[in-house]
A and B are shown apart, each in its own frame.
Chain A
Amino acid sequence: MTAGLVRPDAGDVRVGGVSLFARHDAVTAQLGAVLEGSRNLYWRLTVRENLEYWGAMRRLSMRGARRRADELLELVGLTDRARNTVQTLSRGMQQKVALCQALMHRPHVLLLDEPTLGLDLESGEGIKRVVRQLAQEGTAVLLTTHQLDVAQELSDRVAMIRKGRLVLEGATADVLARYSQPVLTVMAARPWPADVAVRLAGLPAVVTGADTLSVDLADDRGSTLYEVLERLNPHPLLKIERHQADLAQVFQEVMGEGLRDAAATPAAALSAVPVREGGMAP
Chain B
Amino acid sequence: MMGLFIAEWRRMVVEAVRYPLDTVSGMVTLFMLFVGLFFGARYITQSPVGGGRLDTVVLGYAVWMLMMAATSDMGWQIQNEAQNGTLEQVMLVPWSSRLVFLVRGMMAIVAFLVPCAVIIAGLLAITHAHFVWTPLALVPMGLVLATAWGLGLLVASLGLLIKRVGQMMQIIQFLLLFVIIAPIAVLAGLGWHLVAMLVPLTAQVTLLRDLLNGVAVTRWVWLEAVVNFAVTMIAGLVLFGGADRLARRRGILGHY
Contact = CB atoms under 8 A, between A and B. Distances in A.
Nearest to A33: B92
Nearest to A44: B15
A282 to B, nearest CB: 22
Given A4-B248, A5-B248, A7-B248, A59 B94 contact: yes
Given A6-B253, A42-B86, A43-B84, A56 B92 contact: no
- The B interface is mostly helix, strand or loop, or mixed, namely helix
A195 interface: no
A39 B85 contact: yes
Nearest to B248: A7
A101 B93 CA distance: 11
B130 interface: no
A26 B94 CA distance: 7
B88 A39 contact: yes
B249 interface: yes
A197 interface: no
A28 B86 contact: no
B256 to A, nearest CB: 10
A41 B7 contact: no
Interface in A29-68: 29, 31, 33, 35, 37-45, 49, 52-54, 56-62
B95 interface: yes
A54 B94 CA distance: 11
A60 B4 CA distance: 10
Interface string B1-25: 0011011001100110011000000
Contacts, number: 92
B85 A7 contact: no
Nearest to A111: B92
Contact size class for B? Answer: 20 to 34
B93 A40 contact: no
| Residue in B10, B89, B245 whose Cβ sees the most chain A Cβ within 10 Å | B89
Contact of B11 (A40, A53, A62): A53
A41 B87 CA distance: 10
B94 A35 contact: no
Given A6-B248, A25-B94, A33 B89 contact: yes
B22 to A, nearest CB: 10
A57 B93 contact: yes
A167 to B, nearest CB: 21
A31 B91 CA distance: 12
Contacts of A57: 3-4, 7, 90, 93, 95, 100
A142 to B, nearest CB: 14
A45 B86 contact: no
B86 to A, nearest CB: 6
A40 B10 contact: no
Interface centre among A29, A41, A57 (most CB of B within 10 A): A57
Contact of A44 (B10, B18, B85, B89): B18
Interface in B1-55: 3-4, 6-7, 10-11, 14-15, 18-19
Given A45-B11, A49-B14, A53-B7, A58 B94 contact: yes
Interface string A203-226: 000000000000000000000000
Interface string B218-256: 000000000000000000000000000100110101100
Interface in B69-96: 84-86, 88-96
Contacts of A61: 3
A31 B6 contact: no
B92 A3 contact: yes
B7 A40 contact: no
B10 A53 contact: yes
Interface in B86-124: 86, 88-96, 100
A10 B227 CA distance: 40
B84 A39 contact: yes
Contacts of B15: 42, 44-45
A6 B6 contact: no
Given A25-B94, A28-B92, A56-B4, A6 B86 contact: no
B106 to A, nearest CB: 16
Contact of B92 (A31, A37, A49): A31
The 6 closest A-B pairs by CB, nearest first: A39-B85, A56-B7, A29-B94, A6-B251, A7-B248, A56-B3
27 contacts: A3-B88, A3-B92, A5-B251, A5-B253, A5-B254, A6-B248, A24-B94, A25-B96, A28-B94, A29-B94, A35-B85, A37-B85, A39-B84, A39-B89, A40-B86, A42-B11, A42-B15, A42-B86, A45-B15, A49-B11, A52-B10, A57-B90, A57-B95, A58-B93, A59-B94, A61-B3, A62-B6
Given A54-B89, A56-B7, A62-B6, 6 more contacts: A35-B85, A37-B85, A39-B84, A42-B84, A57-B95, A101-B89
